[in-house]
Every structure is written in structure tokens, then in C-alpha cells.
């Protein structure tokens, strides 16, 4: 009888990906993705856009995929070998990576003026898109509209990640890293167990030490609008807050995740409430009460513009002054609540110096039970790892650098202990 591992390998060997490579700097990451997919036995057939060929060569793609690279809609040879409609249906999954603003826009508008966009229109197979572009392009309202349209059309997304970009700017827009990308592809193919087989079994779901308990977690940045297109925000990616929510859910907790704008998927078993501003976040938190524990990880903007202009504020050539008002302190509000004060209120603090001393001061001022402080002077935002120090009334605990996911799990275990 075949072992489960060889059965899995056999199933993967039957899987086929049609990989559309667009014209972005991140196209080089596709070469590693192709290598990883092939290593897992998955067949990859590449389609390269004209702009894509400026970034990676057809030769590299052909060599790694061990298949022909399709580039031209009007190629007589290709059309005789495999017509574009047949090509669009020759795989179990169509993957677009990097998905340029252009390809996303074309697919959302139903345009089909080259091989890649025609395939996206003609396919009857699931589509997974990995956006990669400059942060301004990603945050542009047109891209947001196009992404929302594609999501409504049933297209799945992986990434983009937040971090430093090839152009030197910082923010969301980096293509998902090949390992995370591979995971998303295997999940979309219904083969998530392959990853589990490599990384160990999934953590237990359902009954756990926090079953019957309810927790509120805040995550991500807030966005405080100044006019219809601009606003104040910060560099929080939301990763740490989402990891805490996931850690709690893994222990059986009912979790309400109140999230500012992020590009992250909702962790399994978590109820997510999306908000934009600090005032909305405060209201959503109030609404989530009563809870046994509240963990405030969100980087809530301290201030918001006093006036939100109805129209885009125009340049006058003379600079300008924007009056700001202070936002409510959500952590302090929860910790000092007269009614429905959660039994455990935990706050995260991002510090750039005197981490421990500032955390102690924050613990006292806010009236919470624990402060998880991290030193953000060396760039924690958007990273996978974090180094934290826990400052409570009983003492201080320094944790070594571990992944944000691991911090989420360890903190959830601590919460389970405290609530037992
Ligand atoms: C150096 C360079 C880098 C680029 N990087 C990106 C990118 O990362 N994302 C993107 O959406 N467009 C990027 N562009 C613009 C696209 O290449 C351009 O929109 C092109 O028409 C996309 O074609 P395609 O969608 O058919 O691949 C870049 C252009 C240049 C010159």
C-alpha cells in the first residue's frame, strides 16, 4: 500500500500551474517560486508578458519549468500547438506573479489585448494573484477599486507584504516571499497538508484551554483622513496583532479582531471587524465587550486632523498648517472602564529608546495588567520576527527574538494561564 507521503507526492505530480509573469522588479522571485513548485512535483507552464521579459528571460523560465514559455497572443506556432483558450484551461490554477497594477487593472476591467490578459478572461480555472508594485501604486484608489472588483469576481490574493521597496520607499507592495507564496498556492490547490507534513501538524483547533473565553484583539494601523485622498497613518503591518489573534483562536478562544487597514488574511476561527480611524476602532472595541481579555496591539494614531476637507486640499505655493486633535486612548479606556472592564488588559508598546522604563511608565499610566514592549528603533514593522519584553506588576520577562507567530502563541498561553 502506498504511504501517505507518496500518495501526496503522486497527487501533487498531477497538479498543473499556469504562471503568468508580469513586468515588475519582483519577477525575479518567480524563478525561485518555479523551482519550489517543481521541487514539490507541481508542473509549471509559464506565460511571460512583453514587460515581464524585460525583467526575466524566457530562457531562465523555460529551463526552470522544463516547459515552453508562451509570450505572444498572435503566434501561429503557439496557436497551432495549443490555442490560447486551451492554454487558459490547461492548468488547475492560474497564478499571476508579479501581478502588475496594469495586469490587475486589465483583469478587473475585462480587457484582453495580450496573451496574459486574454488568458485571464478566458480561463474557467481559479486565479491567484500576487500583487507587486510601488507603495503609491498599491495605495492608489484605482488599484484598490480593481482589487476589490477582482475579489468580488472570486479571484484570490496573496500579499502584498509590507517593507522596503526596490525604489527605496517603504510600505505595502512587495510581492509575497516564495515560501509564503508556495503555501498559498498549495492551499488554493487544496493541498495545505503538504505544508503541514513539512512543518508539523496544525495546532489544535476547537476545544482548548481558552474554550468558553472571549478576547478582543486590536491590530494594524489606523488611518486618519485629512481629505478624500490623504491622511495620517503609520507603519504597522498588523502582523503581530493578527498573530496574537491566531494564537488565542488556536487555544479555543472566541476572538474578535478589530483591525485597521492591512493586507493580511483573517486568521482561521477569528471574527474580524474592519475599521479605519481611531474613533471607529474605539467604537468597535466598546461593541465587542464584554470580553475576558483585551489585547491592544494596534498602532492607533495619537492624533487626527481636526477638520476633514470634503475636497482634495489644493497646493497654494505657501505651505500650510494642519491642526490636529488627540485621539482617545483605547488601551487606557479599556483598562479604566467602570463597566465591563476585561479581567485582563494587555497593551503593546512600540518604543525607540529606554524600552523597559517607558513600558513601566505606560503600565502605571494606563492602568493595564501587562505591557508587551518592543524596540522598534531597528525596524520591526512588516518583519516576521520580533523581540519583546513583558512588563507586568509582578516583574519583567525578556523574550529572545522569535517569530511574531511564536510570540502570538506564547502570549496566548500566558493569557490562558492567567484566566484559568
Ligand atoms: C524598472 C521598472 C520597474 C517596474 N516595476 C513595476 C512593478 O513592480 N509593478 C508594476 O505594477 N509595474 C511596474 N513597472 C511598470 C510596468 O512594467 C508597466 O506598467 C508594464 O506596462 C506592465 O506590463 P504587464 O502588466 O503586461 O506586465 C515597472 C517599470 C519599470 C521600467
Q: pLDDT tens-digit profile of 9-35?
A: 666 767 899 999 999 999 999 999 999
What pTM was computed for the model? 0.54
Compute the distance between CA of residue 197 and CA of residue 101 in angstroms, rounded to an integer.
35
157 plus 229 within the same structural domain: no
Atom of ligand 1 nearest to the CA of 106: 25
DSSP tag of 107: H
* CATH of residue 265: 3.40.50.10300
Largest CA distance in the chain: 79
Total tally of structural domains belonging to the chain: 2
pLDDT tens per residue, range 154-166: 898 998 987 777 7
**Is position 393 within any domain?**
yes
**pLDDT at position 129:** 95
The reply to whether ligand 1 has any atom less than 6 angstroms from the CB of 173 is no
Mean pLDDT, rounded, of the chain: 89
**pLDDT at position 204:** 41
**Is position 382 within any domain?**
yes
**Is position 317 within any domain?**
no
The reply to whether ligand 1 has any atom less than 6 angstroms from the CB of 24 is yes
228 plus 177 within the same structural domain: no
The reply to whether ligand 1 has any atom less than 6 angstroms from the CB of 132 is yes
Compute the distance between CA of residue 245 and CA of residue 243 in angstroms, rounded to an integer.
5
**pLDDT at position 4:** 47
pLDDT at 408 over 90: yes
pLDDT tens per residue, range 274-289: 889 999 999 999 989 9
Q: Contact 162/53 with Cβ under 8 angstroms?
A: no
pLDDT at 198 over 80: no
The reply to whether ligand 1 has any atom less than 6 angstroms from the CB of 51 is yes
Q: How far is the CA of 174 from the centre of ligand 1 (A)?
A: 13
Atom of ligand 1 nearest to the CA of 22: 27
Query: Residue 134 belongs to what domain range?
Result: 4-199
164 plus 298 within the same structural domain: no
Residue 37, CA distances (Å) to 42, 44, 71, 200 in order: 5, 7, 21, 20
pLDDT at 196 over 80: no
Which of 50, 51, 73, 129 to mutate to test ligand 1, by most ligand atoms within 8 A of the CB atom? 51
**pLDDT at position 10:** 64
**pLDDT at position 300:** 97
**Is position 313 within any domain?**
no
Q: Which of 151, 173, 199 is the last residue of a domain?
A: 199
Q: Which of 199, 231, 249 is the last residue of a domain?
A: 199
Mean pLDDT over 107-121 rounds to: 97
Q: How confident is the model at residue 149 (pLDDT cuts 50, 70, 90)?
A: very high
Q: Give the catalytic positions in this structure.
A: 167
17 plus 74 within the same structural domain: yes
**Is position 223 within any domain?**
yes
The reply to whether ligand 1 has any atom less than 6 angstroms from the CB of 382 is no
Atom of ligand 1 nearest to the CA of 137: 11
**Is position 253 within any domain?**
yes
Q: How far is the CA of 15 from the centre of ligand 1 (A)?
A: 29
39 plus 127 within the same structural domain: yes
pLDDT tens per residue, range 124-141: 999 999 999 999 999 999
Q: Which of 65-74, 103-112, 254-263 has the lowest mean pLDDT?
A: 254-263
pLDDT at 193 over 60: no
**pLDDT at position 379:** 57
Mean pLDDT over 398-414 rounds to: 92
66 plus 182 within the same structural domain: yes
Strands of 243-363 (E only): list them. Answer: 254-259, 270-274, 293-296, 303-305, 324-326, 344-351
pLDDT at 386 over 90: no
Q: What is the residue with the minimal CA distance to atom 14 of ligand 1?
A: 24
Which has more confidence, 122 or 202? Answer: 122
Compute the distance between CA of residue 22 and CA of residue 346 in angstroms, rounded to an integer.
44
The reply to whether ligand 1 has any atom less than 6 angstroms from the CB of 238 is no
53 plus 115 within the same structural domain: yes
287 plus 192 within the same structural domain: no
Q: How confident is the model at residue 202 (pLDDT cuts 50, 70, 90)?
A: very low
Share of the chain above pLDDT 90, in %: 63
Which of 52, 97, 98, 102 to mutate to test ligand 1, by most ligand atoms within 8 A of the CB atom? 102
- HSE, CB side, 13 Å, CA atoms: give it for residue 142: 11
146 plus 287 within the same structural domain: no
The reply to whether ligand 1 has any atom less than 6 angstroms from the CB of 52 is yes
* CATH of residue 167: 3.40.50.1950
Residue 176, CA distances (Å) to 39, 96, 132, 188 in order: 19, 12, 8, 15
Q: Contact 227/311 with Cβ under 8 angstroms?
A: yes
Q: Which of 153, 169, 199 is the last residue of a domain?
A: 199
Q: How far is the CA of 132 from the centre of ligand 1 (A)?
A: 9
Which of 55, 100, 130 to mutate to test ligand 1, by most ligand atoms within 8 A of the CB atom? 100
The reply to whether ligand 1 has any atom less than 6 angstroms from the CB of 165 is no
The reply to whether ligand 1 has any atom less than 6 angstroms from the CB of 296 is no
* 410 Cβ contact list (under 8 Å, min separation 6): 247, 399, 402
The long-range contacts involving 55-64, CB below 8 angstroms and separated by at least 24 positions, are: 55/23, 55/24, 55/25, 55/27, 55/28, 56/21, 56/27, 56/28, 56/30, 56/31, 60/31, 61/21, 61/30, 61/31, 61/34, 64/31, 64/34, 64/35, 64/38
Q: What is the residue with the minimal CA distance to atom 4 of ligand 1?
A: 24
Share of the chain above pLDDT 70, in %: 92
**Is position 411 within any domain?**
yes
Amino acid at each position: 500500500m502506498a504511504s501517505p507521503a507518496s500518495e501526496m507526492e503522486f497527487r501533487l505530480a498531477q497538479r498543473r500551474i499556469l504562471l503568468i509573469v508580469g513586468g515588475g522588479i519582483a519577477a525575479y522571485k518567480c524563478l525561485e517560486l518555479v523551482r519550489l513548485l517543481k521541487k514539490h512535483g507541481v508542473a509549471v507552464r509559464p506565460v511571460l508578458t512583453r514587460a515581464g521579459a524585460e525583467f526575466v528571460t524566457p530562457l531562465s523560465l523555460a529551463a526552470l519549468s522544463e516547459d515552453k514559455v508562451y509570450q505572444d497572443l498572435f503566434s501561429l506556432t503557439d496557436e497551432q500547438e495549443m490555442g490560447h483558450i486551451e492554454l487558459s484551461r490547461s492548468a488547475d490554477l492560474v497564478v499571476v506573479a508579479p501581478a502588475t497594477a496594469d495586469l490587475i487593472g486589465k483583469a478587473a476591467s475585462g480587457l484582453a489585448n495580450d496573451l496574459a490578459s486574454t488568458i485571464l478572461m478566458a480561463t474557467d480555472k481559479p486565479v491567484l494573484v500576487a500583487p507587486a508594485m510601488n507603495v503609491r501604486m498599491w495605495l492608489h484608489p484605482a488599484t484598490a477599486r480593481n482589487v476589490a472588483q477582482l475579489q468580488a469576481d472570486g479571484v484570490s490574493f496573496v500579499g502584498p507584504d509590507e517593507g522596503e521597496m526596490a525604489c527605496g520607499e517603504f510600505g505595502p507592495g512587495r510581492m509575497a516571499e516564495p515560501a509564503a507564496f508556495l503555501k498559498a498556492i498549495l492551499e488554493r490547490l487544496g493541498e495545505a497538508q503538504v505544508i503541514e507534513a513539512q512543518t508539523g501538524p496544525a495546532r489544535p483547533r476547537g476545544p482548548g484551554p481558552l474554550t468558553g473565553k472571549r478576547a478582543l484583539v486590536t491590530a494594524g494601523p489606523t488611518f486618519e483622513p485629512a481629505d478624500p485622498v490623504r491622511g495620517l497613518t503609520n507603519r504597522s503591518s498588523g502582523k503581530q496583532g493578527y498573530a496574537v489573534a491566531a494564537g488565542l483562536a488556536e487555544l479555543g478562544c472566541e476572538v474578535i479582531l478589530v483591525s485597521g487597514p492591512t493586507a493580511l488574511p483573517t486568521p482561521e476561527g477569528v471574527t474580524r471587524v474592519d475599521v479605519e480611524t481611531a474613533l471607529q476602532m474605539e467604537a468597535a472595541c466598546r461593541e465587542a465587550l464584554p470580553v475576558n481579555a483585551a489585547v491592544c496591539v494596534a498602532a492607533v494614531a495619537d492624533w487626527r486632523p481636526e477638520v476633514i476637507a470634503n475636497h482634495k486640499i489644493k497646493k497654494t505655493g505657501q505651505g500650510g498648517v494642519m491642526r490636529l486633535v488627540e485621539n482617545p486612548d483605547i488601551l487606557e479606556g479599556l483598562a479604566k472602564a467602570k463597566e465591563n472592564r476585561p479581567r485582563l488588559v494587555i497593551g503593546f508598546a512600540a518604543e525607540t529608546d529606554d524600552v523597559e522604563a517607558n513600558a513601566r511608565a505606560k503600565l502605571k499610566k494606563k492602568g493595564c495588567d501587562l505591557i508587551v514592549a518592543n524596540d522598534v528603533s531597528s525596524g520591526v514593522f512588516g518583519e516576521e520576527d520580533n523581540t519583546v519584553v513583558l512588563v507586568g506588576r509582578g516583574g519583567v520577562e525578556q523574550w529572545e527574538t522569535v517569530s511574531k507567530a511564536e510570540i502570538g502563541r506564547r502570549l496566548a498561553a500566558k493569557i490562558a494561564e492567567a484566566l484559568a
